Amino acid sequence: MGFTTGKERLRILRKANYNLFNIRAEHVLIDLLTDSGTGAMSAEQWSGIMRGDESYAGAKSYYTFEKAVRDLTGYREVIPVHQGRAAERILFSFNGGPGKISVSNSHFDTTRANAEASGTRVVDLPAKGALDFDVPEPFKGDIDTNALKKLITEKGPKSIAVCIMTVTNNSLGGQPVSMSNLKKVSSICRSSGIPLLLDCARFAENAYFIKIREKGYRSKTAAQIAKEMFSLADGCMMSAKKDALVNMGGFIALNNRKWALKARQILILGEGFPTYGGLAGRDLEAMAIGLREVLDEKYLQYRIRSTAYLGEGLLRHGVPIVRPPGGHAVYVNARKFLPHIPPGQFPAQTLICELYLEAGIRAVEIGTLMFGRKKPDGGFLPAPMELVRLAVPRRVYTQSHIDFVIEVFGKIAKRKNKMSGLKVVEAPEMLAHFTAKLKPL
Ligand SMILES: Cc1ncc(COP(=O)(O)O)c(C=O)c1O
């Protein structure tokens, strides 16, 4: 357990250049940096690990995994990769490039970076109201279908390489996408010949939200709902580090055989042979089990409820959050919480540093450090939001850990007006938030 004193934390934070990615995990008390790969595997998954077949080609574990993905998604072609971003890189290397557009409810940061690295232009069309964080609409992860139609008419369907629906929408509050929105997107894409893929890292949480929030789905199981979601798309990319309940893994699943052939060629170049794709046989076993376990509705009920509990606690202390709370995380609206710190001084990054200094809690900034851009004229474009994401690892923390986080926010809320911002002293062009160096103003 990462117990440290306040003095030690100040020294650690300075040494880490005010970037919490640079802090050793052993110096963190409660780690809400990400829900990605940080969950606890079940006894069943660990026993699956013992059964791993490590044959180079045609391992039994691959076929166990392939069946689990086919049963879940209905897609025939199943391509394992080491994690979500490998799936993105593969997709955009054969289906992207200059002159092409990738459109989405919101691209996750690595999805955006992989698309842009291939020369593909990225367009996010979140539903109207998605950026209105105070309004607790049930499906703020939806895409704006009118804007999608307009884009297709203006640019022509041929210029749109892919439409990606991120379920749930991680970059905008972990908000779910409704089935009715997926149906509309599916019909628009199918009539225009645009491939529709799900970025399905959190498909089970999304399916459960549909069950409890959307009319007509109460009596369906999460598995049935997930299957319906997949049936509306042409394929998916998954970071299995989330809703497959594993520490490492991912896959692409498709129906289009031509695409699958292209994907497998690139897979062999960078990941490995198509029946292991950058993973060990044992990882494939654990993924196959996780994909089934995650659809246990008792688990999903606990998961969604415990995240909501954190959000409700913060609201009680007057901490503004993206409402309603997301599935895997609560997002604090740092722009509203610290209105005296302008976006150029990174209010969300300032808040995560304060959380660490106060109690050794680690969170992540989703704001100008992550999404701010240099303009062609040399100016600077801040992100449209300044959020602090408190991501809850799966099957790890108890209510008392969460109560402690709420208590710490209560303390910070009392002295928030005295906090001041940060400035960047060094940052790379792409994915700056991982390695940027900052210092207090
Ligand atoms: C929605 C979404 N897509 C893709 C990824 C990338 O996956 P990975 O970290 O496994 O490369 C993430 C990771 O957080 C994600 O949240």
- Reading the chain (441 residues) residue by residue, the pLDDT tens digits are 689 999 999 999 999 999 999 999 999 999 999 999 999 999 999 999 999 999 999 999 999 999 999 999 999 999 999 999 999 999 999 999 999 999 999 999 899 999 999 999 999 999 999 989 999 999 999 999 999 999 999 999 999 999 999 999 988 889 999 999 999 999 999 999 999 999 999 999 999 999 999 999 999 999 999 999 999 999 999 999 999 999 999 999 999 999 999 999 999 999 999 999 999 999 999 999 999 999 999 999 999 999 999 999 999 999 999 999 999 999 999 999 999 999 999 999 999 999 999 999 999 999 999 888 777 787 778 998 999 999 999 999 999 999 999 999 999 999 999 999 999 999 887 778 889 999 999
Q: At 271, list the tokens.
A: 């990941």
Q: How far apart are CA 301 and CA 208, in angstroms?
A: 8
Taking the CA of residue 35 as reference, the ligand 1 atom at the shortest distance is 14
- State residue 374's pLDDT score: 77
- State residue 371's pLDDT score: 84
Q: Give the pocket of ligand 1 (CB within 6 Å).
A: 36, 83-85, 108, 110-111, 166, 170, 199, 201, 239, 241, 250
Q: How far apart are CA 143 and CA 196, in angstroms?
A: 13
Nearest alpha carbon, ligand 1 atom 14: 36
Closest CA to 107 of 188, 163, 37: 163
306 CA → ligand 1 middle, Å: 22
- State residue 106's pLDDT score: 96
Starting at the edge strand found earlier in the chain, the sheet holding 250-254 runs 77-81, 250-254, 235-239, 196-199, 160-166, 101-104, 121-124
Closest CA to 238 of 68, 362, 395, 52: 68
Q: At 147, list the tokens.
A: 């804007």
108 CA → ligand 1 middle, Å: 7
241 CA → ligand 1 middle, Å: 8
Q: Are 164 and 106 in contact (CB under 8 A)?
A: no
- DSSP assignment, residue 199? E
- Mutation choice for ligand 1 from 110, 167, 370, 434, CB with most ligand atoms inside 8 A: 110
Q: Which helix (H) or strand (E) holds 122?
A: strand 121-124
Q: At 253, list the tokens.
A: 């699943």
Amino acid (1-letter code) at residue 58 = G
Cα angle 311-312-315, degrees, rounded to a multiple of 5: 90
Q: How far apart are the first and last CA of the chain?
A: 31
Q: Cα dist. 52→45, 55, 240 in Å?
A: 11, 9, 17
The pTM of the full predicted model, rounded to 2 decimals, is 0.95
- Mutation choice for ligand 1 from 21, 92, 108, 167, CB with most ligand atoms inside 8 A: 108
* Residue 48 burial class via C-beta count within 10 angstroms: exposed 0-12, middle 13-18, buried 19 and up: buried
Amino acid (1-letter code) at residue 166 = T
240 CA → ligand 1 middle, Å: 9
Nearest alpha carbon, ligand 1 atom 3: 108
Closest CA to 386 of 420, 349, 441, 423: 349
- Mutation choice for ligand 1 from 124, 170, 238, CB with most ligand atoms inside 8 A: 170
Taking the CA of residue 83 as reference, the ligand 1 atom at the shortest distance is 10
Burial string for 192-208 (b: 16+ CB within 10 Å, else e) reads bebbbbbbbbbbbbbbb
201 CA → ligand 1 middle, Å: 7
Positions marked catalytic: 56, 108-109, 199, 201, 242, 433
- State residue 171's pLDDT score: 83
- State residue 431's pLDDT score: 73
In which residue are the tokens 């691209």 written? 107
* Contacts (Cβ under 8 Å, ≥6 apart) of 39: 241, 245, 246, 247, 393, 394, 395, 396
Amino acid (1-letter code) at residue 205 = E
- State residue 437's pLDDT score: 96
3-state SS assignment for residue 203:
helix
Burial string for 336-369 (b: 16+ CB within 10 Å, else e) reads ebbeebebebbbbbbbbbbbbeebbbbbbbbbbb
Q: How many CB atoms lie within 10 A of CB 436?
A: 23
- State residue 1's pLDDT score: 64
